[in-house]
A and B are shown apart, each in its own frame.
Chain A
Amino acid sequence: MSVNGNLTAAPAANAPAAEWKPRIVAFCCNWCSYAGADLAGSSRLAYPADVKIIRVPCSCRVNPMFILKAFERGADGVILCGCHPGDCHYSTGNYYTRRRMALLFSMLDYIGVERGRTRVEWVSAAEGARFSKVMNDFVAKIRELGENVKVGDLRCKE
């Protein structure tokens, strides 16, 4: 609903309420996925503007707390993108990510949060097309799941 609706031209009587837009946080590794996103852009491949990318030096920089914090502050989905296993710039970072996230996501499932809201994808710097596909796919999934009500924290909502 538009706040200044009555200041502008009167809306049509049956105008739909402002469309809900998902808020999606994507943690992208500096060496692979962030460059992959860049390639997607320079190749003019579209992915939804709902995705907010946060660049991290390595996927293993992502503390499980970052993910929960994003949810608390109102994210509807969080995706973590890193180099393919074996291709880590720091040799082994994403192997640790893999273990951590497997445990964290299993725990989120255990407390009854929809499985689809979290995802780990491996996207290399050469995979611009894949980056675009992954993001489109994830956004579609979040749109399907709707607004995140299970993992938000009222104390963080503004």
Chain B
Amino acid sequence: MQRVSEKVIARARELMREGTVNKVAGWKAGEFFYDCAPYVFESEEALKDLVYDRFCAANLSKYMIKNSVAAGAEGGKVLVLLKPCDTYSFNQLLTEHRIARENVYVLGVGCEGMCDIDRIREKGFKGITGVDENADGKTLTVHTLYGDGEVAIDDVLVNKCEFCKGKAHMIFDELISDNEDEGPRGDRFAGVRELEAMSPADRFAFWQSELSKCIRCNACRNACPACSCRKCVFDNDASGIASKANTDSFEEKMFHIIRAFHVAGRCTDCGECTRVCPQGIPLHLFNRKYIKDINEFYGEYAAGAEAGQRGPLINYTLEDIDPAAVSDKGGN
């Protein structure tokens, strides 16, 4: 990761210096070293703050909607750093004509999996002051106020990297990566199958306990590269339930079902929703359920695998299954 990181930063500077691009969308460390947030750098000097490390999980594709248009208006180009999984989202946005492709320079960056600070803390580390990657590429040295410790990277990956889709970039203008594509990691539908195997009452109890944590901060919607409507249906004050705290159990289910439904067939399973949820709700289980159903009902489909694909919900065949297959039906 270290090597790729140095190359990426050097190349971003070079592209800025030679004038190929006039902006760089990357990550900048915040107050803490693990707070790597998306940032658009506008000068070569500002680029000294560009970071690319194990905490740069944020997907930058969505930022290209505004920035690609703005760059065009200024007569420039914007450089975006995209990890393999982010390129699916970028392609999906291209399919939906949301990005002015000609104004974007895509620098594909190699990725070996991003780490979750909360999972490192769960391993018992307190007062973490820094994290260094060891030369073996498989472990991290965690520096704390109370001394150093070691943790296996595989044990502290963010959820989306635990089920990595693969190391291949779907779109790029230039690539800096020394990863071999090993294909998908783990079975991403295992969690969905586990739930499907439960009784309806248990499933209901599971979702009730998870969704009752929801505070409707809308972080999942805001981070989602597929949720890019100019005006969101949930910003409707007249709905009667906008910005009212939930008084019990299960009142946010509509929001979550609809949020996932609106991206069904367009969701690239980039995992941003789950990653940004401050309450730790496993939102990917909704998206993956739709993906799994789509794959089973209408054939394998990977949103964003290439630009210009026709999504399953804006398509049909005469032989599609009847909804009766998933709900009861009588009366014939």
Binding site for B on A (CB under 8 A): 64-65, 68-69, 72, 85-86, 92, 95-96, 98-116, 118-121, 130, 133-134, 136-138, 141, 150-151, 153-156
Contact, CB under 8 Å: A141 / B330: yes
Contact, CB under 8 Å: A65 / B258: yes
From B21-29, B86-94, B113-121, B288-296, the one touching the partner chain is B288-296
Interface residues on B, range: 35 or more
- In the assembled complex, 17 residue pairs joining A and B whose CB atoms fall closer than 8 Å, in A order, are A64-B261, A65-B233, A69-B254, A72-B254, A96-B314, A98-B323, A102-B323, A103-B264, A103-B294, A106-B326, A108-B257, A110-B195, A111-B203, A112-B201, A119-B324, A133-B331, A153-B251
Docked pose: A95 CA to B321 CA in angstroms: 10
Contact, CB under 8 Å: B207 / A112: yes
Contacts of B205 in A (CB 8 A): 112
Main secondary structure of the interface of B (DSSP, over half): helix
The contact string, 1 if C-beta is below 8 Å from chain A, for chain B 273-294, is 0000000000000100110011
Docked pose: A22 CA to B330 CA in angstroms: 18
| Nearest B residue to A112, CB-CB | B204
Contact, CB under 8 Å: B327 / A155: no
Q: Of B253, B315, B322, which contacts A120 at CB under 8 A?
A: B322
Contacts of A112 in B (CB 8 A): 200-207
From B39-47, B169-177, B240-248, the one touching the partner chain is B240-248
Is B318 close to A, CB under 8 A? yes
Q: Of B204, B297, B328, which contacts A113 at CB under 8 A?
A: B204
Contacts of B330 in A (CB 8 A): 134, 137-138, 141
Contact, CB under 8 Å: B200 / A153: no
Is B316 close to A, CB under 8 A? yes
Contacts of B148 in A (CB 8 A): none
Q: Of B264, B315, B324, B331, which contacts A130 at CB under 8 A?
A: B331
Binding site for A on B (CB under 8 A): 195-196, 200-207, 233, 240-241, 244, 246-248, 250-251, 253-254, 257-258, 260-261, 264, 286, 289-290, 293-294, 297-298, 312-316, 318, 320-331
Docked pose: A90 CA to B130 CA in angstroms: 62
Contact, CB under 8 Å: B244 / A155: yes
Contact, CB under 8 Å: A103 / B196: no
Contacts of B254 in A (CB 8 A): 65, 68-69, 72, 153
Task: Output the least CB separation between A103 and chain B (Å).
Answer: 6
Contact, CB under 8 Å: B241 / A156: yes
Given contacts A68-B258, A102-B322, A102-B323, contact A110 B289 (CB under 8 A): yes
Q: Of B244, B247, B297, which contacts A102 at CB under 8 A?
A: B297
Contact, CB under 8 Å: A102 / B321: yes
Contact, CB under 8 Å: B328 / A116: yes
Q: Of A85, A119, A133, which contacts B329 at CB under 8 A?
A: A119
Contacts of B244 in A (CB 8 A): 155
Contact, CB under 8 Å: B326 / A96: no
Interface centre among A86, A99, A106 (most CB of B within 10 A): A99
Contact, CB under 8 Å: B233 / A106: no
Task: Output the least CB separation between A102 and chain B (Å).
Answer: 5
Contacts of A86 in B (CB 8 A): 318
Docked pose: A100 CA to B289 CA in angstroms: 14
Contact, CB under 8 Å: A103 / B261: yes
| Nearest B residue to A68, CB-CB | B254
Given contacts A119-B328, A121-B331, contact A105 B323 (CB under 8 A): yes
